Amino acid sequence: MRKFTWTISVIVFIAIMVSACGQKNEAASSNENLTVKIGLLKNVTHAPAFIAIQNGYFQKEFGSNVKIEVTAFDNGSDFSTAIATHQIDLGFVGPGPAINQYLKSKNFRIISGSNNGGAVLIVRTGAGIKSVKDLAGKTVAIPTKGSTNEISLRLLLEQEGLKVTTDSSGVQLITRKPADTLVAMRQKEVDATLIPEPWGSQMVQEGTGEVLVDWDRIPPNNGDYPLTLLTANDQFLKEHRDLAIKAIKANIQGIDFITQDPSKSYDLISQELKELTGKGMKPELIKAALDHLKLTHEVQPDAINVMAKVSFDAGYIKGIKENELDLSPFIDLSLLDEAVNNK
């Protein structure tokens, strides 16, 4: 009887091991010849992603069987459309356009933070603007409608009792890509801009503009608000949750690399910008950008909810009532918890 029991135990043990190996091989094979499509913006505020790409953190985490394809976007609206329509699997974007798109499609999630702050309010040199109140009757450039920068600008104007209008009674907004805003400021076509770094620092260095509100006084939370978040679409999370967690780890490694020794990151960030745009960036401009933001993998749901309310009031969120602005399903921090705790 003892011999029979021992024999059964061995058979059960072998069966369990074979099953476990089979499951492991099945999981491994599911990533064979897989291409993970990562999206990001051509901004230094996406520096952790740049470092994670340049230092091979994504590739190391995903494994050699996974191919990585990087797509760069000019603005968050285009990125958000791409992730909602499965043109990309995961990537980095600001909360403003992400919120607007999520409430339409509800098929992607915020899974980690990347950096907070990083935008400044610049006024054109010689425009006679000495305070935010002086923006009344002026034209202010933003990267795109519904962008995180526009949300911050609207909050800033609201604090000073100013309204966004289409005439000289308030503040007029126009959309310009950051590079085009730089030209517009030089040509005196716009009076001010709330813009991500290092564009603001570049305007200051060349004498085109002056800082009116520095990054650590931009609302909400005086610069400590999400500007770049890591997101992933639902299909990718369902089929490759393990890789999404590994992407978070790669993002955190990028943050740690910059935090521990920023000077080592300048050339890498410039190189990634060159690959994305065809042009690198001077180290002093990259330093200015990194000095004007807070790198963090943490996410602030309260700040995101405030931004959603601003987008709603601005008319960018349609088809729902204000009390239906429930973003709790949009922010899934369970993967971040697993990544940080090495589960």
User: Distance from CA of residue 285 to its chain's centroid?
Assistant: 20
Spatial distance between the Cα atoms of 168 and 175, rounded to a whole number of angstroms: 17
Spatial distance between the Cα atoms of 29 and 31, rounded to a whole number of angstroms: 5
Q: In what order do the strands lie in the sheet with 294-295?
A: 66-73, 34-41, 90-93, 226-233, 108-116, 294-295
- Hey, what are 275's tokens? 């690959």
Angstrom distances, CA of residue 206 to CA of 145, 168, 285: 27, 29, 12
At 2 the pLDDT is 41
Neighbours of 313 (CB within 10 A): 13
Spans of the chain below 50 pLDDT: 1-18, 23-29
Handedness of CA 257, 333, 239, 96 (dihedral sign): negative
Helices (H) and strands (E) in the chain, counts: 14, 11
Tens digit of each residue's pLDDT (9 = 90 or more) over 78-128: 999 999 999 999 999 999 999 999 999 999 999 999 999 999 999 999 999
User: Hey, what domains does the chain have and what are their CATH numbers?
Assistant: 34-117+225-341 (3.40.190.10), 119-217 (3.40.190.10)
Neighbours of 98 (CB within 10 A): 27
At 33 the pLDDT is 85
